[in-house]
Amino acid sequence: MSAAELVALVCCDLGSIVRGRSVLAAELGEHLRTGIGWVPANHALTPLGPVADSNPFGSTGDLRLLPDASTRVLVGAEDHAEGGAGPLELVLCDIVELDGGPWECCPRAFLRESLRELERELGARVLASFEHEFQLLLDTPSALPFTLDAQRRVEPFPRQAMGALAEAGVEPERFFAEYAAHQFEIPMAASDGLASADRSVVLREVVREIARRRGMRASFVPLLDPAQAGNGVHIHMNLLDASGEPLLYDASQPAQLSELGQRFAAGILAHAGALSALTAPSPVSGARLQPHRWSAGAVCLAQRNREALLRIPPVLELAGADAAAQLHIEYRGADAAANPYLALGAIVRAGLEGVRARLPAPPLLERDPAELGAEEAERFGVGALPATLQESMRALAEDDTVRGWLSPLLYDAYVSVKRAEIDAAAELDLEEVCRRYGAIY
């Protein structure tokens, strides 16, 4: 008897865990129209496993996972038939009411509305890319950082992962070794806002799939070892007008960032504390976002400075490259514990708030934060991000603007999940929490 081919209909939950149900591939057409059953309380499942206590859903209610056919992903089966892995096929879904209307807690709906708001007010769309770092959980000694040796030791994983990602349509650009043990990074080509978050979900699942096929495990945990560098998600963003012209570039402005871009950046920085509850939301995230970890040790804007929460990457001048098309901002305070739809949606809304309020241009940090005196360090927000999940959730509760972007039901659900994580980690030391979250992500 031949094995049936299955398609997974999935969503990304509040803890950035991909959940769903599989159907026969032959029956996918019907499910594209009607979806598949889902339960509100699934949105209160914690990354640790159990449903969060005191969640707002209980045992009642019914929803549907409605597949978005444009997100269909297929990674072919392994070459050898006997005992080899079958194809990985999935479709990303919106979580909708029984009549097909958007559910107020659906993360994709949250991002979609953020992008619509940006377009309504500024006539702009977002071009974005999620740049993921991850580690292979291996017992063997690690090669030196950034070396070809580090990549070659894990072959054929790199070429198989890049091939599978290309097959999945996420347009991987590069594969390279990073600083920590068995740590690698795969940047993707930029795409429109919703598609960029979809690609973030797909990249993680495809990388994990190829690692499984090689008898390995890949972890995107924010911090695997407190003594080493962590795994971030750098969110690169540009704004384009209706005709596709870049809105962030102005050669006459400092760092070539337009006045619109300066205000957009200022809005993100103004709400940085509350944003961290949505972009770096695990009990191990805060330990990574500290000075001297090359993550986001300062809540400021900088050019070519990897200690800043917001960075303006260098503009390439080789071969007559177009500076306007290249210039963008990079948010460095996110990790894979963040639901990418909530993270990008909140960042976009924060930037829009800065434009609305006509906030002044933030100062550019041009030095290593370690060189700053006490007064300058405070001005540039060195060490100002919340150090713990408790602190970031408190910042979210106290920021009426950011909290207001979440419906009351979504806010209550999110708080219940994060409170459960905080309580579970309370009696454990950081090393043990890192170990547990390393196994989850």
Name the residue type at position 3: A
Q: Which two tokens stand for residue 52?
A: 């969060």
CA nearest 300: which of 365, 353, 358, 238? 365
In this structure, the dihedral spanned by the alpha carbons of residues 292, 294, 297 and 302, taken in order and rounded to 10 degrees, is: 120
Q: Which of 271, 327, 269 is nearest to 299 (CA)?
A: 269
Let me know if 429 is exposed, middle or buried by CB neighbors in 10 A (0-12, 13-18, 19+): exposed
pLDDT of 10-39, one tens digit each? 999 999 999 999 999 999 999 999 999 999
CATH topology of domain 6-103: Ubiquitin-like (UB roll) (3.10.20)
Q: What is the mean pLDDT of residues 381-391?
A: 89
pLDDT greater than 70 at residue 377: yes
The reply to whether 108-404+418-440 shares the fold of 6-103 is: no
Q: How confident is the model at residue 319 (pLDDT cuts 50, 70, 90)?
A: low
CA 58, distance to chain mean position in Å, is 28
Q: How far is CA 253 from CA 257, 258, 426, in A?
A: 6, 6, 47
Q: C-alpha angle 160/340/16, rounded to 5°?
A: 80
Distances from the Cα of 289 to the Cαs of 231, 280, 334, 392, in angstroms? 10, 9, 9, 12
Domain boundaries, given as residue ranges, for the chain: 6-103, 108-404+418-440
| Lowest-pLDDT range of 10-24, 299-313, 347-361 | 299-313
- CATH code of the domain made up of 108-404+418-440: 3.30.590.10
Phi, psi of 218 (to 5 degrees): -110, 135
* CA 333 from centroid of its chain's CA atoms: 10
- Integer-rounded Cα radius of gyration of the chain: 21
Question: Cα–Cα–Cα angle for 192, 195, 197, nearest 5°?
Answer: 110
Query: What average pLDDT does this structure show over 292-312?
Result: 84
- pLDDT(89) > 50: yes
Mean pLDDT is lowest, of 5-14, 116-125, 288-297, for: 288-297
**pLDDT confidence of residue 70:** 96
Span of 191-200, 231-240, 369-378 with lowest mean pLDDT = 369-378
Tell me the sheet residues that pair with 310.
301, 331
Please state, in angstroms and as integers, the Cα–Cα distance from residue 400 to each residue in 8, 395, 396, 422, following that order. Answer: 38, 10, 8, 22
- Whether 365 shows a pLDDT value over 90: the answer reads no
Q: Are 77 and 86 in contact (CB under 8 A)?
A: yes
Mean pLDDT of the chain: 93
**Which carries the bigger pLDDT value, residue 102 or residue 83?**
102
* Mean pLDDT, residues 397-420: 97
